[in-house]
């Protein structure tokens, strides 16, 4: 006789609840009814037992399943949010939504709903069940446990609180969904230290300039008078005047700007460094090399700062400990969560085959046809019909299509006659050009958000969108980079990014989808995956919806092959700092290597470490390619040079030599005529900034070749800064 096996009741209840046929039927009915209302389809709604549905949601919100608990809780929240939108007057809805969000610890969601406080009288009048005294005690106790120390009226999610409690560890890396509020945790940690009078310096590292403005503005707004009272300054560059004075600092920097801070202020103590959007370290982009350099330099400081990495959606956040040295048990310093406080309802709008399909995350079949879609030529009208006056984000992979579609969307819309919109439109006309068409779009509550818009203009667009004065915002990949906007509806028109149509990674796609449905503003949002051309396929979208985010890797360990390392070492030993040997290798071999710029920057780091006899993380990766005697040979090649390698990996030895020689032979900035302002699409007030355009590319600048963009006509939508640089 087989031995009796004891099974935990929770395990027994939740083991197969996903496949419960009645739950599946109820959920499919909710999605069907929600979809026909959203698209205005003339179809009969499916009958649904609301109370049974809400009971299932309550059960899911209490899931104890070790692997699926987060998934069950998200599903529970989605069910009650959709039922609330379909049956707002049902007497049980408010009680169950309160119970579900309390069970999941989503007190921010409760605050977003601004539900009236429950009283015995209203509950009895609506025939709703009352919380027992024990339930009320538990809820209030739970809320107290997750109260934000710096702002007691606000509450963390449980996963946020777990992260917050560990940010003081020497090393920590965590990952969660885009809507988890990873940056919020960092800011609240900093605010608490400032409140308590700690004399510390903090660094928040963000991947792009666009995020510098957003993050620094939030810190300034949240700390308010505390900054002056506690003698803190928020600094966004190594050249800030405040650095010459006696203050404590909160730095918000890109990795490039952090590099210059570390070079210029080598004695400045940095206590906490937060690497936000850390998944960028895993990309095959030349900028990710800077993370290796700055982490190495931080590790050399005494005392070492506490370093935390925050990344969205990845399963192995401990991978970024590969940038530091001496962590013996990486798993002990990481945390991952799948819990999201908001949900997304996803649709495929196929304007090629003229079908709208619903994607059900919890069904095997996945797609269900809802109604007919219009051809691509009529898509704009269809989008306006769906969205009405809701907040809309639309993603394209190139600037031209973004601007073109924003103009098409705004055509025929009335001017809103709003003083805030008019003020921004007038500022755009004054700063950029009086006929710049973005100004006209703004007056209609429509805008586009692209990287080369002036930062001040972008910030005002974001604010007016959050204030629901701008309703439709058309974006490029700046939307993927972390800009937090309160969208009800997100339209994704391609699974490519950038003008070269590079396919999105699973991380990028999840990050993009996570931009709709933000807990500060709503509990769920709609995501529309749009197929406007044959090159975009249904399968392409489905693959990204279904695939799990793979484990991330470090390019230094995986893509920088032994052959590439051998070539770098060989070039350095021969005095070939430009790595010209790499230009001679066969194309097939080139395809197996990272881009030249990445190899070049790693070679600069390696050369600097060899010259300083420093055993850095990068140098250790080249250990097998550095046999006895080779380092001495490399040193001999460069030790007699007047120009020595330094920590600035933006400028190599050969480039520095070229610049030095060019200046000696009379290199000057070209004269600039006022009459060119009109061609450049900028106002005369901005002529002082035109010198930035001279550095069209750093390599050209450093060899004495200068490029000044000349635009054919004044319809060019922006005046670009120097590509590839982020200073």
Tell me if 133 is assigned to some domain. Answer: yes
332 with 351, same domain?
Answer: no
On whether both 318 and 392 belong to a single domain, the answer is no
Final residue before a domain boundary, out of 88, 114, 145: 145
Query: So what's the pLDDT on residue 618?
Result: 93
Same domain, 127 and 96: yes
520-564 pLDDT tens trace: 767 889 999 999 999 999 999 999 999 999 999 998 888 888 989
Residues 524 and 592 in one domain: no
Compute φ and ψ for 581, nearest 5 degrees: -60, -30
Tell whether 347 and 495 lie within a shared domain.
Answer: yes
Query: Is the confidence at residue 51, as pLDDT, over 70?
Result: yes
352/459 same-domain check: yes
Residues 629 and 495 in one domain: no
Q: How many domains does the chain have?
A: 5
Whether the pLDDT of residue 716 is over 70: the answer is: no
User: What tokens appear for 542 in the block?
Assistant: 């489905």
The last residue of a domain, from among 495, 517, 544 = 544
Global confidence as pTM: 0.85
Lowest mean pLDDT among 110-114, 473-477, 497-501: 110-114
pLDDT reading at 697 higher than 60:
no
Residue 495's pLDDT band, with cuts at 50, 70 and 90, is: very high
Average pLDDT taken over every residue of the chain? 84
What DSSP letter does each residue of 420-434 carry, written as one string?
Answer: HHHHHHHHHHHHT-T
Single out the residue in 502, 520, 544 at which a domain terminates. 544
Asked if residue 46 belongs to a domain, the reply is yes
pLDDT of 653: 80
Which range of 21-35, 428-442, 518-532, 696-710 scores highest in mean pLDDT? It is 21-35
Give the domain CATH number at 187.
Answer: 3.40.50.300
Do residues 581 and 690 share a domain?
Answer: no
Residues in the chain: 727
User: What percent of the chain shows pLDDT beyond 70?
Assistant: 85
124-165: per-residue pLDDT in tens?
444 444 555 556 666 677 888 999 999 998 999 999 999 999
pLDDT for 646 equals 84
Cα angle 121, 126, 130 (rounded to 5 degrees) comes to 60
Q: Which of 79-93, 455-469, 484-498, 576-590 has the highest mean pLDDT?
A: 79-93
For residue 131, the model assigns a pLDDT of: 54
State whether the Cα torsion 591-594-598-599 is positive or negative.
negative
Statement: residue 94 has pLDDT above 90: no
The answer as to whether 600 is a domain residue is yes
Which residue blocks in 574-613 are alpha helix, DSSP H?
Answer: 587-590, 596-611
Is residue 295 one of the residues assigned to a domain? yes
Whether residue 310 is found in the same domain as residue 357: no
Give residue 674's pLDDT.
44
Specify whether the CB–CB gap between 571 and 652 falls below 8 A: no
Q: 187 versus 677: which is more confidently predicted?
A: 187
* 13 vs 410 pLDDT, higher one: 410
Is residue 553 a part of any domain in this protein?
no
- Looking at the structure, tell me whether residues 175 and 281 fall in a common domain: yes
Q: Sign of torsion, CA 362 367 372 373?
A: positive
In a domain, 138, yes or no: yes
Query: Residue 439: which pLDDT band, with cuts at 50, 70 and 90?
Result: very high
Q: Could you tell me the residue range of the domain that residue 399 belongs to?
A: 343-544
In this prediction, residue 717 carries a pLDDT of 35
Residues 535 and 563 reside in one and the same domain: no
Residues 404 and 498 in one domain: yes
User: What is the C-alpha separation between 296 and 82, in angstroms, rounded?
Assistant: 49
Interval 221-259: pLDDT, tens: 999 999 999 999 999 999 999 999 999 999 999 999 999
Would you call 650 exposed, middle or buried from its count of C-beta atoms within 10 A (0-12, 13-18, 19+)?
middle
Determine, yes or no, domain membership for 153.
Answer: no
Distance from C-alpha of 725 to C-alpha of 696, rounded to nearest angstrom: 9
pLDDT score at 476: 87
Return the SS3 of 57.
helix
Report angle CA 555, 601, 653 to the nearest 5 degrees. 165
- Classify residue 662: in a domain, yes or no: no
């Amino acid at each position: 006789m087989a031995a009796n096996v004891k099974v935990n009741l929770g395990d027994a209840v939740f083991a197969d609840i996903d496949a419960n046929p009645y739950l599946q039927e109820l959920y499919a009915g909710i999605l069907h009814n929600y979809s026909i209302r959203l698209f205005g389809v003339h179809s009969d709604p499916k009958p649904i037992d609301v109370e049974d549905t809400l009971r299932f949601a309550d059960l899911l919100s209490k899931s104890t399943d070790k692997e699926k608990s987060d998934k069950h809780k998200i599903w529970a929240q989605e069910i009650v949010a959709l039922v609330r939108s379909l049956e707002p007057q049902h007497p049980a809805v408010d009680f169950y939504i309160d119970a579900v969000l309390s069970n999941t610890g989503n007190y921010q969601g409760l605050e977003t709903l601004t539900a009236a406080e429950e009283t015995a009288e209203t509950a009895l009048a609506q025939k709703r069940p009352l919380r027992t005294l024990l339930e009320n005690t538990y809820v209030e106790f739970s809320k107290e446990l997750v109260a934000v120390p710096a702002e007691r009226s606000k509450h963390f999610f449980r996963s946020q609180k777990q992260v917050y409690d560990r940010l003081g560890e020497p090393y920590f890396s965590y990952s969660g969904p885009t809507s988890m509020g990873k940056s919020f945790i960092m800011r609240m940690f900093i605010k608490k230290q400032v409140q308590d009078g700690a004399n510390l310096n903090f660094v928040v590292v963000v991947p792009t300039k666009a995020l510098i403005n957003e993050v620094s503005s939030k810190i300034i707004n949240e700390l308010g008078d505390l900054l002056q009272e506690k003698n803190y300054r928020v600094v966004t560059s190594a050249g800030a005047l405040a650095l010459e004075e006696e203050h404590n600092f909160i730095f918000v920097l890109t990795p490039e700007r952090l590099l210059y801070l570390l070079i210029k202020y080598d004695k400045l103590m940095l206590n906490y460094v937060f690497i936000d959007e850390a998944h960028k370290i895993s990309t095959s982009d030349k900028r990710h090399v800077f993370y290796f350099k700055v982490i190495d330099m931080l590790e050399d400081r005494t005392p070492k700062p506490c370093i935390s990495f925050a990344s969205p959606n990845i399963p192995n956040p401990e991978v970024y400990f590969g940038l530091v040295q001496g962590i013996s048990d990486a798993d002990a310093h990481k945390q991952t969560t799948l819990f999201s406080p908001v949900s997304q309802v996803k649709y495929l709008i196929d304007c090629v085959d003229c079908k709208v399909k619903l994607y059900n995350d919890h069904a095997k079949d996945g797609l269900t046809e809802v109604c007919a879609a219009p051809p691509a030529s009529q898509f704009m009208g269809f989008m306006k019909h769906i969205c009405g006056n809701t907040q809309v984000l639309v993603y394209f992979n190139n600037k031209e299509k973004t601007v073109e579609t924003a103009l098409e969307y705004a055509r025929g819309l009335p001017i809103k006659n709003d003083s805030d919109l008019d003020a921004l439109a007038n500022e755009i006309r004054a700063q950029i050009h009086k006929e710049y068409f973005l100004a006209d779009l703004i007056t209609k509550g429509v805008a586009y958000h692209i990287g080369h818009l002036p930062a001040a203009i972008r910030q005002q667009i974001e604010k007016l969108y959050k204030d629901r004065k701008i309703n439709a915002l058309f974006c490029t990949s700046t939307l993927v980079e972390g800009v937090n906007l309160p969208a009800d509806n997100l339209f994704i028109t391609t699974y490519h990014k950038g003008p070269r149509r590079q396919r999105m990674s699973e991380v990028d796609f999840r990050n993009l989808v996570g931009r709709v449905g933000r807990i500060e503003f709503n509990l769920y949002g709609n995501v529309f995956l749009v197929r406007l051309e044959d090159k975009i396929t249904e399968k392409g979208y489905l693959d990204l919806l279904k695939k799990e985010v793979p484990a991330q890797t470090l390019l230094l360990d995986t893509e920088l092959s032994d052959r590439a390392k051998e070539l770098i070492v060989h070039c350095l030993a021969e005095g070939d700092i430009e790595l010209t040997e790499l230009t001679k290798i066969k194309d097939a071999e080139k395809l197996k290597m990272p881009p030249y710029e990445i190899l070049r920057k790693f070679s600069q780091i390696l050369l600097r470490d060899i010259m300083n006899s420093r055993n850095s993380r990068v140098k250790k990766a080249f250990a097998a390619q550095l046999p006895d005697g080779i380092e001495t040979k490399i040193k001999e090649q460069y030790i007699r040079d007047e120009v020595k390698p330094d920590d600035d990996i933006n400028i190599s030895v050969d480039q520095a030599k070229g610049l030095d020689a060019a200046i000696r032979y009379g290199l000057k900035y070209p004269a600039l005529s006022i009459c060119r302002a009109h061609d450049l699409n900028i106002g005369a007030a901005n002529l002082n900034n035109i010198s930035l355009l001279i550095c069209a590319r750093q390599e050209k600048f450093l060899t004495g070749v200068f490029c000044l963009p000349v635009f054919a006509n004044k319809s060019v939508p922006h005046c670009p800064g120097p590509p590839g640089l982020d200073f």
